[in-house]
């Protein structure tokens, strides 16, 4: 089963053999034995690539869960009494991963010398199960999936801001509708496209902006805003330091943007391992109920 999972993940008998320290012939032999035992063909083979059959696709998810449970059980026995140990695969958005999670993860791992965190930062909404992550951190963008358990970690507030030089030149908008006359820096992963939503009490406004600069990374947009390129749709966890320093200032501060959440996702097919549970508890202590970036901004927002 472990060999099948690696072949399916890497789409290659040779790559799986290298990953597992086996010969290609041995990998092929084990896959054929597994298919004989199941009386089903799991993989299509060709000279160029390996792909899953329909039966193989259906078998992969429970097979992956079973392999991980067995591996985790072996690690628990091997490292009993040694504290948290072994690889811990985490995925997070690049901006949050670099601004906050990297430091938190380093402090979490410090008392556990046998723990080996692997942090993958990527703004793409990767499937945690398909890519083999033990824990995925998401800012909004929560999938509707029974295969994943979700643990909210903290509120995630949006904020519009711009450099003082930009506002001196173009003026401070007083109403969301005035954004049509401004240069807007747009985060391409917003779930409703270029429609920016605002609320003030019972009043609601939706403005479909014409983005003058678009990126799939919040840090890229923040650099553009600092250069005076326009008004950026950011988050308080990313813009907090610049807002405190005054290099960025809030725009339409009396209007609220939709509230998202910072969440932890992990496969629902098994109980989280001790190290995953410990990391979730650590992050909850760090960020809940009011995260440190929002506490820092409380006097000005």
DSSP, collapsed to helix, strand or coil, labels residue 16 as helix
Q: What is the pLDDT of residue 141?
A: 67
Angstrom distances, CA of residue 90 to CA of 54, 93, 265: 29, 10, 10
Tell me the percentage of the chain whose pLDDT exceeds 70: 94
DSSP H helix total and E strand total for the chain: 11, 14
Residue 7 has pLDDT above 80, yes or no: yes
Q: Which residue has the higher pLDDT, 67 or 27?
A: 27
Residue 238: is its pLDDT beyond 90?
yes
Residue 118: CA count within 13 A, CB half-sphere:
9
- Distance, in Å, from the CA atom of 127 to the CA atom of 263, rounded to the nearest integer, reads 15
pLDDT at residue 22, as a whole number:
84
Q: Tens digits of per-residue pLDDT, 21-49?
A: 888 899 999 999 999 999 999 999 887 78
The CA distance from 94 to 202, in Å, is 35
Q: 219-229 pLDDT, tens per residue?
A: 999 999 999 99
Residue with tokens 């499937």: 127
What is the per-residue pLDDT across 112-132, written as a single tens digit (0 to 9) for each?
A: 999 999 999 988 778 788 888
The neighbour count for residue 228, using CB atoms within 10 Å, is 16
Strand pairing partners for 57?
A: none
Instruction: Give the integer Cα–Cα distance in Å for 239 and 58.
Output: 43
Tell how strand 86-92 and strand 135-139 pair up: parallel
By the 8 A CB rule, do 293 and 153 touch?
no
Burial of 76 (0-12, 13-18, 19+ CB in 10 A): middle
Q: In 3-state terms, what secondary structure has residue 204?
A: strand
- Encoded tokens for 280: 């979730």
Maximum CA extent, the chain: 73
Q: Rounded to 5 degrees, what angle do the CA atoms 183, 188, 192 make?
A: 95
**Beta-carbon contacts of residue 226 (< 8 Å; ≥ 6 apart):** 163, 242, 247, 248
Q: Find the mean pLDDT for residues 165-173.
A: 96
SS3 85: coil
| pLDDT higher than threshold 80 for residue 280 | yes
What number is the average pLDDT over the span 196-213? 94
- Going by the DSSP 8-state scheme, the letter that residue 178 receives in this structure is G
pLDDT at 249 exceeding the cut of 60:
yes
| Range with lowest mean pLDDT among 169-178, 181-190, 263-272, 291-300 | 263-272
- Please say if the pLDDT value at position 197 is more than 70: yes
pLDDT beyond 50 at 81:
no
What local confidence, expressed as pLDDT, does residue 127 receive? 79
Helices 13-20, 24-38: axis angle to 10 degrees equals 110
Q: What is the pLDDT of residue 232?
A: 97
For the full predicted model, state whether its pTM sits above 0.85.
no
Residue 183 to residue 79: CA distance in whole angstroms = 56
DSSP string, 102-149: HHHHHHHHTT-TTEEEEEEE-SS---TTTTT-SEEEEES-----TTEE
User: Is 286's pLDDT higher than 50?
Assistant: yes
Tokens of 42: 């799991």
* Predicted local confidence at residue 193, as pLDDT: 79
Question: Domains of the chain (ranges plus CATH)?
Answer: 2-78 (1.10.10.10), 86-153+261-290 (3.40.190.10), 158-250 (3.40.190.10)
């Amino acid at each position: 089963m472990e060999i099948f999972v690696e072949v399916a993940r890497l789409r290659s008998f040779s790559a799986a053999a290298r990953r597992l320290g086996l010969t290609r012939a041995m990998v092929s032999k084990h896959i054929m034995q597994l298919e004989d035992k199941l009386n089903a063909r799991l993989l299509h083979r060709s000279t160029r690539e390996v792909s899953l059959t329909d039966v193989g696709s259906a078998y992969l998810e429970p097979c992956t869960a079973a392999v991980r449970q067995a591996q985790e059980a072996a690690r628990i026995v091997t490292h009993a009494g040694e504290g948290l140990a072994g690889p811990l695969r985490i995925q997070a958005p690049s901006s949050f991963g670099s601004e906050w999670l990297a430091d938190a993860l380093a402090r979490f791992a410090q008392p556990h010398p046998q723990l080996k965190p692997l942090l993958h930062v990527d703004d793409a909404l990767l499937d945690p199960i398909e890519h083999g992550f033990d824990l995925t951190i998401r800012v909004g963008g929560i999938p509707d999936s029974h295969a994943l358990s979700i643990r909210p970690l903290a509120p995630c507030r949006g904020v519009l801001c711009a450099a003082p030089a930009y506002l001196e030149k173009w003026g401070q908008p007083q109403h969301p509708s005035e954004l049509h006359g401004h240069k807007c820096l747009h985060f391409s992963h917003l779930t409703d496209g270029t429609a920016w939503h605002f609320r003030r009490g019972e009043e609601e406004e939706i403005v479909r902006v014409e983005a003058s600069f678009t990126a799939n990374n919040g840090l890229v947009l923040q650099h553009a805003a600092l250069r005076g390129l326009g008004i950026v749709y950011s988050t308080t966890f990313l813009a907090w330091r610049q807002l405190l320093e005054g290099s960025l200032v809030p725009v339409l501060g009396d209007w609220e943007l939709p509230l998202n959440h910072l969440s932890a996702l992990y496969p629902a097919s098994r109980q989280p391992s001790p190290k995953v549970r410990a990391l979730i508890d650590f992050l909850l202590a760090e960020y809940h109920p009011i995260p440190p970036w929002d506490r820092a901004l409380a006097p000005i927002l």
